[in-house]
Every structure is written in C-alpha cells, then in structure tokens.
Amino acid sequence: MAGIGSRRSLIGLAAFLGVTFVGMLIGGLATSLGIGEWYQTLPKPFWTPPDWVFSPVWTVLYVMMAVAAWLVWRNAGGRVGNARLALTLFFVQLAVNVLWSVLFFGLRQVGWAAVDTLLLLLLVLATARAFLPHSRTAALLMLPYAVWVGYAASLTVAIWLMLPPEAPVPAG
C-alpha cells in the first residue's frame, strides 16, 4: 500500500462521505417529493418493511459504501491510478442508485425503477469484485449493500407486477 499522510487521508474520507451523502440527499429529496398518498396506495408485497426502516438502513449503507471507496482510494496511494475501474464503478453505481429514487418516486415509473434496481444490483456486485484486489475490507463492506439492493429489487419488481394494467387509450 502506498502511504499517504493522515491529513490527506481524512480529507479523502470526508470527500467520499460528502459525495456519497450528496447522492443520498438527492435520492431523499426525490423520495420525499413522491412518497405521499401515491406510495401509500401502491400494492406492496407482504415482505415490505415499515417505512421507518428505510432511512436508518440506507444511512448505514451509504456510510459503509463511502468508507469502502475511501479504503480503495487510500490503498491506491490517494490516487485513482490502478483503482480507476473500481472507483469508476463505485461512482456509476452511486448514480444508478440515485436514479432509482428519481424513477420510482419522482417520475412514478415503477417498471423503469425495477430495471434500474436490477442494474444497480449488478453494478454493486461488480464494484465489490473490483474493490477486492485493492481492499478485502472494502469488498466486504459492499456486501450488505448488495443484499439490501437485492431485497429492494425484489420489492420494486413485486410492486411493478402487482400494479393494475394501464387502461387502454380510447381510439380516435
């Protein structure tokens, strides 16, 4: 592991936490704007947790994923360098994560959100795999996130499949 100073390391950690929490805030804003009556009336599978569970779980997962990315960056000597693919995957999956909230809550496009969350699961797994050569701990920190995204994917797909079909548009 190439060494970097402790001050630079802490600034790096703060930057990864900051970027990750900006993603969380954008997703949270989209969620808060769309979670009202529409979400409450959606058909949901029996394994849907209470609403209060989501915020603390996501907060812990965002911290874990930021720390994981920071570990990879730190182990690369505080440079992207040979960790370019791993860190690129991290930022791509973060963007796809945010997109889910925009699609599901902001635009109410449950089908597209289902596709998004399945893509997100693949990206999280690819990110964890790409983290492994740089930091075993970082790869392991991504696994609870992958499990939760798999669970979220099951919820999103189930909700999508439970929605009533769209009424046909009258001709003419």
Structure tokens at 66: 């930021």
Q: Would residue 167 count as lying in a domain?
A: no
Under 8 Å between Cβ of 102 and 28: no
Q: Would residue 126 count as lying in a domain?
A: yes
- Would the pTM of this model clear 0.85, i.e. be above it? yes
CA angle 52, 58, 61 (to 5 degrees): 145
> Which CATH number fits the domain that encloses residue 107?
1.20.1260.100
User: How many CB atoms are closer than 10 A to CB 91?
Assistant: 14
pLDDT on residue 168: 54
Under 8 Å between Cβ of 73 and 87: yes
pLDDT on residue 82: 80
Domain containing 62 equals 6-162
pLDDT on residue 81: 78
pLDDT on residue 164: 87
Domain count, the chain: 1
Q: Who contacts 137 (Cβ-Cβ below 8 Å, separation ≥6)?
A: 68, 71
**What are the residue ranges in the chain where pLDDT is below 50?**
1-2, 169
Residue 153 burial (10 A CB sphere; 0-12, 13-18, 19+): buried
Q: Would residue 168 count as lying in a domain?
A: no
Q: Would residue 170 count as lying in a domain?
A: no
Q: Would residue 1 count as lying in a domain?
A: no
Note the pLDDT tens digit of each residue in 68-100.
999 999 998 866 778 999 999 999 999 999 999
Q: Would residue 172 count as lying in a domain?
A: no
Q: Would residue 171 count as lying in a domain?
A: no
